Chain A
Amino acid sequence: MFARWARGIAVTGAGFLAVMQGGVPAQAVSTSYESDVCSSSGNQYCFEIYYNSAGATTGYSYSSCFLANQSISDHYGYSPNGVVLVRYIFRGGTDRITGSNPGCTGGEGDGIALKNEAASVVNNECSVNNIVYYNSGYQGTSQTITPGCGSDWPATNLKAELKNENASHKRV
């Protein structure tokens, strides 16, 4: 399998040093963690990426999630200046989305790295498709999710090749 280096590694916690994938500098010493890059008020109209698959009966993904309404070319994170490192992670525990969507409530996956760890997605943006890619930089096989504008249900399980192999996503 490819790129399974991050599997199951909880990345939160003090003192994490960037022993990193690839070119993100190993000397990066200041690490922060981001699980919400969605500007929608109450997170009602976001692209939601879940740690768990959709429930067979409920259609919802009760687990930690990552929220976005911007494209991300590398789900690992980014280093804006080679010193600071921002890691993307799942967060759960409390209901992070207002409205009737009960997703993103469970604790499973809390603090786990986003890259190569997602199982399902919900596109609650209103006017864009979100496409998930196997590789960073929008490369490899992909899966398109049409917009549900706050009521995208049931959640879409990522196809087998992308499950736990998500590396980037693009709004189109």
Chain B
Amino acid sequence: MLRTSVSDRARGVAAGVVLITAALLAGCSAEQSGQGAAQGASAGSKVDERAWPARTPVSGLTKGMVLPIEGYLISYPETVAWQRAQQSLWKRCMQRYGFNSFNPPEPGMFPPPGYDDANMARRYGISDAKEAARYGYHLPGGRGEPPVWEPGQGAERAVFSGSGGQVESGSYKGAEVPEGGCQGEVKKKLGRISYTLASKVEFASLEESRNVPAVRSAVSDWSACMKSHGYRVEHPYKAPNLISTLGSETPSSAETALAVADVGCKKSSRLVEVWFGAEKKIQDRRIEENQLALDEERKKNDAVLKTASRSNDY
């Protein structure tokens, strides 16, 4: 089944394992410039869905925390399902014109830290003491990322996009090419995931909660705690500005020391717990105020995902 119901999602049942394994992320980024073959991913690699982020964080200070609006956001597994359908439809269309090696790298090999755009695992900044001690502000497992891929030059690209020297008067080797090429055909068929209201509720609670006295107090306590560790920083979101190694391959000892203090102070100030509680209250209210519109928006995306599911089952 492609997706669970909103009520299932809202229950926040932990599914899968949240840890992003070093093995999974060990692949190197690479560029491809030819006929639809990806480099940088090992041949025959399979996506390990157990490495995807869990719906509910399973470790750290956000363990067990799911915001009410997450039931209306599109999750990482759902975007992967949509991508799989997109690629499947692209490939089938391209095969009609003889491009049997048109084969983008499969999605899902390099998951994000968060299950959805709420990014609970790192929403209030880093929040896992063990990860902080080992990785600082870096993501666990290194900097591996999906290979770069694009359609091959010449006829492949022309048929895919519907324009280029090889497509003449809307046809390729006598066969009619859809408007906008295979890409245009799939775009029309599949539709696009889009949510603005759910997104608005998701981020508005962050903004509004900043002025909640309990949150301000917890932030102040966190800052005082950081000062006792030798760091002058007023807000957790500014903590990474104190180090210069974010772009480096591995964290420095200064980075991990800062990260450990950061998470430790979040724990002693109860910052994450307080902030989450404030956001939850705000979101409950906003969801109630916008219930019908939110349901409607979710239904539209469910229809897109249902189309995706049918394409994947094909």
Most buried by B among A2, A71, A141: A141
Closest Cβ of chain B to A135, distance in Å, is 5
The answer for the CA separation of A74 and B246 in the assembled complex, in Å, is: 7
Report B-chain residues with C-beta under 8 Å of the C-beta of A151.
Answer: 161, 180, 183-184, 187
- Check A140 against B112 for contact (C-beta < 8 Å): no
User: Within the complex, which residue of B104, B106, B193, B241 is in contact with A126, where a contact is CB–CB below 8 Å?
Assistant: B104
Contact indicator B122/A139 (Cβ below 8 Å): yes
Q: How many residues of A contact B (CB 8 A)?
A: 55
* Contact string against A for B residues 102-145, beta-carbon threshold 8 Å, 1 for contact and 0 otherwise: 00111100111110111100110110000000000111000101
- Which DSSP category, helix, strand, loop or mixed, fits chain A's interface? loop
For residue B245, which residue of chain A has the nearest CB?
A: A23
Judge whether A29 is part of the interface by a CB distance below 8 angstroms: no
- Which chain B residues (171-205) contact chain A, with CB distance < 8 Å? 180, 183-184, 187, 192-193, 196, 199-200, 202-204
| Smallest CB separation, A55 vs chain B (Å) | 17
B74 at the interface (CB under 8 A from A): yes
Q: How far is the CA of A9 from the CA of B240 in the complex (A)?
A: 21
Interface size on B, residues (CB 8 A): 70
Interface residues of B in 215-252 (CB under 8 A from A): 235, 237-238, 240-248
Tell me whether B79 and A150 are in contact (CB under 8 A). Answer: no
Cα A160 to Cα B143 with chains together (Å): 29
On whether the beta carbons of A161 and B207 are closer than 8 Å, the reply is yes
With A44-B150, A139-B122, A151-B184 given, is the CB distance from A127 to B107 under 8 Å?
yes
Give CA–CA (A127, B90) in the complex, Å.
11
> Is B113 within 8 A of A146, CB to CB?
no
In the bound complex, CA of A3 to CA of B126 (Å): 17
Looking at A100, A142, A159, the one whose CB has the most chain B CB atoms below 10 A away is A142
Q: How many whole Å from B241's CB to the nearest CB in chain A?
A: 3
Asked if A41 CB lies within 8 Å of chain B CBs, one says yes
Chain A residues with Cβ below 8 Å from B86 are 146-147
Closest Cβ–Cβ distance, residue A87 to chain B (whole Å):
12
Residues on B with C-beta less than 8 A from A160 are 200, 203-204, 207
Q: A22-B244, A129-B79, A137-B139 are in contact. List 19 more A-B contacts (CB 8 A).
A: A21-B241, A74-B240, A74-B247, A78-B244, A78-B247, A82-B244, A127-B38, A127-B105, A127-B146, A129-B83, A137-B137, A137-B138, A138-B113, A139-B125, A140-B206, A141-B206, A142-B117, A151-B183, A160-B203
- List 10 A-B residue pairs with CB atoms under 8 Å apart, sorted by A's residue number: A22-B243, A80-B248, A125-B148, A127-B38, A127-B105, A128-B107, A138-B119, A151-B180, A159-B199, A171-B146
**Chain A interface residues toward B at CB < 8 A:** 2-3, 21-25, 39-41, 44-45, 69-74, 77-80, 82, 99-100, 125-129, 131, 133-144, 146-147, 149-151, 159-162, 170-172
